[in-house]
A and B are shown apart, each in its own frame.
Chain A
Amino acid sequence: MKRNFQIAIRFLLAKKRAMLMTLAGIVFGVAFFIVTQAQTHGFEELFIRTVLGTNGALRVQDKFQNAITSLMAESGDQTEGFKVPLKEGRTYIAGIAHPRSLKDSVEKFGSVSGVSEVLAGRASVSSGFRTEKTEVLGIRLIDHLSVTDLASQIRYGNLSGYGEEPKGILIGSRLAGRLQADIGDTLFLEQSGAKRRYRLAGIFETGVGQFDLARVFIHLGEARLLFNKPFGSSYLQVSLFEPEKAPQVAQHLEETLQHDVDSWQEREKTWLEVFRVLRFSSGLTMASIIVIAGLGMFNTLAMIVMERQREIAILRSIGYTPGDIVSIFLQQGLIVLLVGTLLGWILALSMTYGVSSLPIHIRGVFSTDSFVVKWSLWHYIWASLISALVILLASYLPARKAARIDPGKVIRRMGG
């Protein structure tokens, strides 16, 4: 190994300029790959955090009956093994008739970390300045804080003021702007001709435009009065200890409770797909820089094989095996790969840090005032694996050609 390494390094240094170009390609390819992955992954995670912190991991809603499975059970035909209930065959009963008992049942699941009963409805909210359409959510504050990040989303006012005030109301930041409402102002909610008065206790900002523009929170008892619904609720918002397992938990809850349960992954399927495609395409684009560096490596090594035929033939004549020759060329690739990847990592670390402190104002899908990055070792591992695959392949092909050189023929041709 060592004897071949010495030859590899000398061959490599004889082509300094070409090798430096290849090295630069790997360094920048690895670094840009990591930085773009850190950014797209960072924004994706922020989106997920926003979704979980606003709408929770699961939503338990309408009760259903499986019409098709019921029929199969009645037929008594066990041979068909038709056990999976089809959503198409369900009959839904809107809302939750007995939220208390259902909440108790959901809380018994070990994977559930919090449950909040929500009564939702549409209403008009008006200040002295103007009127807007809103989505009113009636909640129990303590329960809702256990399933959302509402506490950290409050920008003005405070939750204790809201908690102590039975007629308190929380509204989104954009809605507050439109209504030109300040903390302590009186707001009116109107639904089916009934108008009720509230005091603005807090203004929240989720970062999700549609929520900040149209969502208001009032106490559950007040919502019952506003919507004239003394019993039942619209849905249960559920948080989980392991939110990534939401689809499995949702299926389990659905089968057990006979209520429709949506996971956050199902609700946000489109956005998650957008982020996935974005990550993949940016990764692909950056990997292409590494591929170009690999082509450079291939070209340089192919040149070395052509120019060094004489030396390779001599090495073979003095007892170096075809395996030694392959090893000499693979080691050249390995040296460039290791140095390039290491420098790429260092550049990526500093670039990622630099990018994370760049100011940027984003509101709409999530809220941030600076670039969001995700520090993950996996980005570094993937960048290294891609460059390793490309460079070793680019080195192996010329190495194989070099190993096939017939020493006798070459020495004879060179006028040995």
Chain B
Amino acid sequence: MTDTAHEKNCVVLRAENLHRWLGEDENRVHALKGVSLSLEAGKVHAVVGPSGCGKSTLLYLLGLLDRPDEGDIWLLGKHMTKASEARRTPVRNEHLGFVFQFHFLMPEFTAAENIMLPMRKLNRLTEIQMKERADQILQEVGLEDKGQRLAYHLSGGEQQRVAVGRALANDPGLILADEPTGNLDQQNSDSIFSLLCRLAGEKKQAVLIVTHNLDLARQCDHTFSLVDGNLT
């Protein structure tokens, strides 16, 4: 697909015929069996399915953290499947944001410093600009008064908000969330989901949420069901 076509359709990511085998020898499992999907800007997408159906495997492939055994991935119109790690790493930094089930924050860093981590790597803003942007993101995720708190002093819900903030740091085109509410109570779960939906709408970012929560998936713009490695 050309860049022009990509802009016309607002497709941020396109995957075609992805296959992935996991494990070795007799434990080898065909986790993904020809999965194809497109993620559009400003829309929230969900992949649902039972545990072990390959949801996370798909997310890691789309997030350029793993490589498919077969198939192709285009991110913002660029073919990424065979791109070297040296090319994929800056793409992850600039165009992708990750939110995991467990927040995976740097415990000794403040909320603001955690959000600034991807910005520091991108190295496009001055220290003051990075701090201003971190404050702005903290405001967006509802933690404007907790920027200077160390990550391990925040509650579970707050930590996950910081993780969302970190994913937004470089204003990426695609946010990939792996069970982002799986470790939270109902109230925090709803709050994080609303936050992701709001940000997708406001910032025209594509959001892909991997979840086994069907109620949550129903509220998304597009829902894919992954069963036994096949996407429907």
User: Is there an interface contact between A311 and B106, defined as CB atoms closer than 8 Å?
Assistant: yes
Task: Tell me if B106 and A10 are in contact (CB < 8 A).
Answer: yes
Q: Is the CB of A416 within 8 A of B106?
A: no
Q: How far is the CA of A11 from the CA of B108 in the complex (A)?
A: 8
Confirm or deny: A230 has a beta carbon within 8 angstroms of a beta carbon on chain B: no
B117 near A318 with CB under 8 A, answer yes
Query: Size range of the interface on A?
Result: 20 to 34
Asked whether any CB of chain B lies closer than 8 Å to the CB of A324, the reply is yes
Q: How far is the CA of A408 from the CA of B108 in the complex (A)?
A: 23
B118 touches A411 (CB 8 A): no
A415 touches B109 (CB 8 A): no
A386-416 contact mask (Cβ, 8 Å, vs B): 1 or 0:
0000000000000000000001100110111
Closest B residue to A14 using CB positions: B108
The answer to whether A411 and B106 touch (CB under 8 A), given A317-B63, A318-B118, is no
Find A320's partner among B113, B121, B166 (CB 8 Å cutoff): B121
- From A2, A322, A408, A414, B65 is in contact (CB under 8 Å) with A408
Query: Taking CB as reference atom, which chain B residue is nearest A2?
Result: B120
A310 and B104 in contact, given A317-B65, A318-B117 (Cβ under 8 angstroms): yes
- Expressed in whole angstroms, the Cα–Cα distance for A408 and B123 within the complex equals 24
Output the least CB separation between A227 and chain B (Å): 86
| Total interface residues in chain B, CB < 8 Å | 30
B103-158 interface with A by 8 A CB criterion? 104, 106, 108-109, 113, 117-118, 120-123
Who on chain A is nearest to B166 by CB?
Answer: A318
A319 & B98 in contact (Cβ 8 Å cutoff) = no
**Is A318's CB under 8 angstroms from B92's CB?**
yes
**Which of B85, B102, B113, B121 is A318 in contact with, Cβ under 8 Å?**
B121
Chain B residues with Cβ below 8 Å from A310 are: 104
- For the complex, give the distance between the alpha carbons of A412 and B100 in Å: 10
Contacts of A277 in B (CB 8 A): none
Q: Is residue A208 within 8 Å, beta carbon to beta carbon, of the partner chain?
A: no
A3 touches B123 (CB 8 A): yes
Given contacts A10-B106, A318-B92, contact A411 B120 (CB under 8 A): no
* Interface residue? A225 (CB, 8 A): no
- Asked if B121 contacts A3 (CB within 8 A), the reply is yes
Q: Which residues of chain B (38-90) have a CB below 8 Å from chain A?
A: 56-57, 60, 63, 65-66, 85-86, 89-90
Question: B108 is contacted by which of A13, A313, A315, A412 (Cβ under 8 Å)?
Answer: A13
Does B223 lie at the interface of the complex (its beta carbon under 8 Å from any beta carbon of A)?
no
Inter-chain contacts of B36 with A (CB < 8 A) = none
User: Is A7 in the interface zone, CB < 8 Å from B?
Assistant: yes
Given contacts A318-B93, A322-B85, A412-B56, list 4 more A-B pairs with CB under 8 A. Answer: A10-B108, A314-B104, A415-B102, A416-B101
10 smallest beta-carbon distances between A and B, as pairs: A319-B93, A3-B120, A408-B65, A416-B100, A408-B66, A10-B108, A314-B104, A408-B60, A318-B118, A319-B121
Task: Offer 6 A-B interface pairs, CB within 8 angstroms, sorted by A.
Answer: A10-B109, A311-B106, A321-B89, A324-B121, A411-B104, A412-B56
